[in-house]
Chains A and B, each alone.
Chain A
Amino acid sequence: MSLVFDRPLLSEQLTMAATEVLETMFFASVDTASDEAESPVGDRIGASLDFHGACAGRLALSLDRATAEGLASNFFGGVGEGGAEEDSQSVMVELTNMVCGAMLSHLDRNSIFCLDTPKQLEPGQEPTGEIVRDLSLEDGLLRLAFSLQESAPKVDAH
């Protein structure tokens, strides 16, 4: 079975997966979620991850650096030996991994997906994809982008 490109469903699942991960492991809440709005500004960092298996695609996200440092502090319970910069980079990678895994698992519980190792985005690079969602956190904006390969069947149900 492969995923069907149902934009509203994927958009909803993307938001749900990110919210679940943020609340459970980073003790952060999502205030609002919306489709891509204005281009985020400021000093931002991000990561992306390719997945394959029943279906292939990519998930990427970005966050302003200060918020990433706050999430890292929540995740680790303090700042590590490598400092806040290293912590925030590694947390972005973990956040990407967990959001992607949670989303795919919710979408198709009967297939096996393999997640590649997440990669950091270049400084200033914002994630792009067929579906882009902006999640407003307490003091920052998390941008999520999700794409399926063209082989994924598309439906126009909405």
Chain B
Amino acid sequence: MSALLLEVEGLTKHFAVTRGMAREKVFVRAVDGVDFAIARGETLGLVGESGCGKTTVGRLILRLIEPTGGAVRFDGRELTALDRKRLQPLRRSFQIIFQDPFASLNPRMTVSEIVGRPMEIHGLTRRAERDEKVGELLAAVGLRREQLARYPHEFSGGQRQRIGIARALATRPQLVVADEPTSALDVSVQAQILNLMKDLQGRFGLTYLFISHNIGVIRHISDRVAVMYLGKIVEMAGKGALFSKPLHPYTQALLAAVPSLDPRRRQEEVLLEGDVPSPVNPPPGCRFHTRCRFALPRCSREEPEFRPRADGRWVACHLY
């Protein structure tokens, strides 16, 4: 058994869109050659701003959408080569938690149906014992067994997210992709959910790909962190190293932009001006060079390779 549960190589997704009056067909390069791996029991945080491609990466790994190119190996098996029929039995091993606990639960299903359905589909329970098994899971995520027959609208946002987590765990997965699981929640409820996810990780031996734009949340939950910008990972490192000494100029600017909770430390300097360029026509060379403080002449011509350094950190930047 390999120590790596998930290996991703050159993962790419280009969405075709038509644009303007001329119905011109262009490609949004949402994910453009992404490499990373996650070890068993580890949490990899995937962080970046809107449109950087982090959600698309999560969905590609689960084959909820089809990649344009690249490889996804799960537990040593190449997923991208499998057809639907052969993929289906493997799906129980990788599940997802969505951002919006209001939109991601079917309002016409009871909690028992929502959480029990995945078990039935994968033949993990019979109808007669379903409530028993769902009840156990509800207790594990901090809900009460008596709430089995209730509908989603009877729960608060935080409780709904617990239902979403119970559903993800129903098939006893190894990998859980959590896509902004606390972004719709208030901070006091967010803390409950983050603590629960850490607790469940230990109890069920879970591996997480945790996707978020919230840098504080990423720092709290992750073992390692990958930073995305315009469809590419620009830096990946252990949490301690990344936060104490970010290498990539984008990571530096991103971390510096988070307002500090220390009112005596007012941040006047803004490291990043302007907006993210369009993923339809990303800048040539390094995609960040148009906004980079340290840009060299070669940055606009030559794309920096994403590669490991001697200390095990990965960075895609000509400075290193």
The answer to whether A and B assemble together is: no
Which A positions have Cβ atoms within 8 angstroms of B? none
Interface of B with A (CB < 8 Å)? none
